[in-house]
Amino acid sequence: MLTKQALRSKILLKLENQKEEDRKQKSSLIKDKLLKQREFRKAKRVMFYIAMQGEVDTQEMIETAKRLGKIIAVPVCVKSRISLRPAILDSHAHLRKGPYGVSEPVIGRFIGLKDLDLVITPGVAFDKKGNRLGRGKGYYDRFLSRIPKDTPSIGLAFDLQILPVVPTTPHDVGVKKVLFA
C-alpha cells in the first residue's frame, strides 16, 4: 500500500499528463451527471470549487447553475486559520489567486455553512465509498467536518482518480457521493 504522499504524487502526475481534450470531454460528461443529481436539482445554494490545473473543470457547471438561478459560492482560503469560507460568486466578481494559487473572489461576501444546500468537492483521489485524498493541507477535511451532517457533498473526479481504497486517518472527511468519467 502506497503512502498518501506517494499516491498523491502518482495521481497528480497522471492528471498533469492527461490530454486537455480528454479533460474537457470528461468534465462535460461529469457536468451532465451532476445536473441529473437530485441533490443538485433541489439545491438553491451550491458551493463549487474553481478548478486548478488538471482538475475536473467546473466552469461550465458554475455557468449552468447560475442560469438555473442558483446562488453560487466558492471557497476563500483563510491561511491564518487553515480554513475555507464560502464566498458568493456573482457575475461581477473579480478573481485573484489565493494563497495556494487557487482563484477566489477579491471581495468576500460570505455565506453561512448552514445555508449551503450542496458542496461540490475537489480531490486528488477518491474511492467509491467517498473517501477522499486531498492535496495534504487539510482545508477540505476541516471544512467538510464543519458543515451540517445532512448537507450533501459530491466529489468530482476523472476515472484515473478513482482508487479501490484511499488510505484514511481519523481526521479525514469523505464525501457522500463521487461522480466521475
Residue whose grid cell is 445532512: 150
Tell me what pLDDT residue 72 has.
Answer: 98
pLDDT tens across 61-77, in order? 999 999 999 999 999 99
Q: Please indicate, yes or no, if residue 4 is contained in any of the structural domains.
A: no
Tell me what pLDDT residue 135 has.
Answer: 94
Q: Please indicate, yes or no, if residue 58 is contained in any of the structural domains.
A: yes
pLDDT tens across 99-114, in order? 888 999 998 799 999 9
Q: How far apart are CA 126 and CA 133, in angstroms?
A: 6
Q: Please indicate, yes or no, if residue 91 is contained in any of the structural domains.
A: yes
pLDDT tens across 45-65, in order? 999 999 998 999 999 999 999
Q: Which domain holds residue 82?
A: 20-180
Q: Please indicate, yes or no, if residue 7 is contained in any of the structural domains.
A: no
Q: How far apart are the first and last CA of the chain?
A: 25
What residues have CB less than 8 Å from 112, skipping those under 6 apart?
A: none
Q: How far apart are CA 102 and CA 104, in angstroms?
A: 6
Q: Please indicate, yes or no, if residue 76 is contained in any of the structural domains.
A: yes
What pTM value is reported for the model?
Answer: 0.96
**For residues 156-174, average pLDDT:** 96
Q: Please indicate, yes or no, if residue 5 is contained in any of the structural domains.
A: no
Q: What CATH number is associated with residue 87? A: 3.40.50.10420
Please determine, for residue 1, whether its predicted confidence score (pLDDT) is greater than 80.
no
Q: Please indicate, yes or no, if residue 132 is contained in any of the structural domains.
A: yes
Mean residue pLDDT across the chain:
95
Q: Please indicate, yes or no, if residue 90 is contained in any of the structural domains.
A: yes
Number of domains in the chain: 1
